[in-house]
Amino acid sequence: MSFALIGLKTLSISWTKKAFEDFISTLWNIWNNRNNVIFRGNDEDAGLIWDRACKLNDDFRSHNFSFQPILPQVPRSCKWEKPSEGVTKVNVDASADALGIIARDSDGFVLRSKAVFINRVVNSEWAESNALIEGFWLAHSLNSDKVIFETDYASIVNRFRKHKEDIMILGHRIKEACKMLDSFSKADVNLVDRG
């Protein structure tokens, strides 16, 4: 994370919401003025830039008070659901530099968990597929017979469900990983909403 992003995160925590919004709006107006100077040769007074930022924020706030949001917040429940008796649930997730895997039984008891740190650059889809494959290995090591694998990455779930049609490199890797699923008496790869 860059120093600028760390600074902005620190400011967003320590300032009031209005002060932080004013700050970001002012930065945007300064950047816009810089572009106007470079590309159009128009330079404006600093006071004018400040006034424009304040007016933009005031307009935005008054708009939000007087209109319903275009995309209203829909309340949703994101909770872990127990699998059926005798079924192991393996939940996987990935970030830019790590994979997380956790296996639980039908009582919610953690059977095993694992974190894998990645020291190479991969895109999110490859990282999620790697996490899922690590989950397969974890389930094998537990000698689980019936397993539900969960990830929050829809593309990976779709690829596993339609692996016979995928001719891409990642598709080939998923076809190979699907062969691992044949050793379970029952195995599903499901999408989970983590909110």
pLDDT at 159: 73
List, for residues 12-51, the tens digit of each pLDDT value. Answer: 566 777 777 777 778 888 888 888 888 888 888 888 888 8
Q: Which amino acid is at 72?
A: P
d(CA 147, CA 136): 9
Query: Where do the structural domains in the chain lie, given as residue ranges?
Result: 3-66, 87-191
pTM tops 0.75: no
Q: Which CATH number is 87-191 given?
A: 3.30.420.10
Mean pLDDT in residue range 136-149: 92
Q: For residue 91, count other CB atoms closer than 10 A to its CB.
A: 21
